[in-house]
């Protein structure tokens, strides 16, 4: 259990009563599974990407932007190899994104023409609003997978809320192999 200690410096840093070290323990203790544990998808998840973890930013939850941006290096290395021939990310690919309860949301996976930003759009706004996801406080874990029953490209997103009010400059990155 994390012992609560509160200092003025921590409060100013936006760590809501916890020291920076305690927050980093909370962030880094989580080890996402290789395959998402989503009710209703047992046995249906085929090829699956490595999980992507992300602290939500203001652009992820702004109602006028309606997108979840994803790290381009992770997408290139772990998600793009799962695409089938002919799937064009610049045009957008219709996907179903499942929440941690198994509810599906229709979204579009797209790489913007600049090639610098990889996003889930369309149903993302409904997703983050329904689950009341917040900037900085919520950390999402994202997987891309192909369904075994129809080979359709899908995503799964789980999240956890931490006592943080500002972006962390140090968030756990997967170890390079």
Complete domains list, the chain, with CATH:
8-161 (2.40.330.10)
Residues 6+ apart with CB under 8 A from 153: 82, 83, 84, 87, 93, 95, 109, 144, 145, 146
Q: Report the C-alpha gap between 35 and 47 in whole angstroms.
A: 9
Pairing, β 153-161 against β 93-98: parallel
Mean pLDDT over each residue of the chain, to the nearest integer: 83
Q: What is the pLDDT of residue 10?
A: 40
Question: Torsion angle, CA of 22/26/27/33, rounded to 10 degrees?
Answer: 160
Q: What is the pLDDT of residue 15?
A: 53
pLDDT in tens, 1-24: 333 333 434 434 555 667 777 777
Contact of 35 with 170, CB cutoff 8 Å? no
Q: What is the pLDDT of residue 115?
A: 63
For residue 80, name the pLDDT band (cuts at 50, 70, 90).
Answer: confident
The more confidently predicted of residues 125 and 16 is 125
Q: What is the pLDDT of residue 170?
A: 45
Q: Report the C-alpha gap between 126 and 158 in whole angstroms.
A: 15
Report the chain's terminal Cα–Cα distance, integer Å.
Answer: 31
Q: Report the C-alpha gap between 16 and 165 in whole angstroms.
A: 7
pLDDT higher than threshold 90 for residue 138: yes
Tell me the β-bridge partners of 115.
Answer: none
Q: What is the mean pLDDT of residues 142-171?
A: 86
Q: What is the pTM of this model?
A: 0.82
Of the given ranges (8-17, 104-113, 122-131), which has the lowest mean pLDDT? Answer: 8-17
pLDDT in tens, 90-104: 788 999 999 999 999
């Amino acid at each position: 259990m994390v012992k609560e200690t509160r200092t003025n410096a921590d409060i100013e840093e936006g760590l809501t009563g916890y020291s920076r070290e305690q927050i980093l323990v909370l962030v880094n203790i989580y080890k996402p599974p290789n395959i998402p544990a989503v009710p209703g998808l047992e046995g249906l998840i085929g090829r699956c990407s490595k999980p992507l973890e992300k602290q939500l930013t203001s652009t992820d939850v702004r109602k006028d932007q309606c997108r979840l941006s994803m790290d381009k290096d992770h997408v290139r290395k772990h998600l793009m190899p799962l695409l089938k021939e002919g799937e064009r990310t610049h045009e957008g690919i219709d996907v179903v994104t499942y929440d941690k309860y198994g509810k599906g949301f229709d979204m579009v996976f797209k790489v913007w023409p600049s090639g610098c930003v990889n996003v889930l759009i369309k149903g993302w706004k409904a997703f983050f609003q329904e689950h009341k996801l917040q900037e900085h406080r919520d950390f999402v874990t994202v997987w891309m997978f192909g369904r075994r029953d129809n080979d359709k490209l899908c995503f799964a997103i789980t999240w956890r809320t931490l006592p943080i009010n500002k972006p962390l400059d140090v968030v756990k990155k997967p170890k390079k192999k």
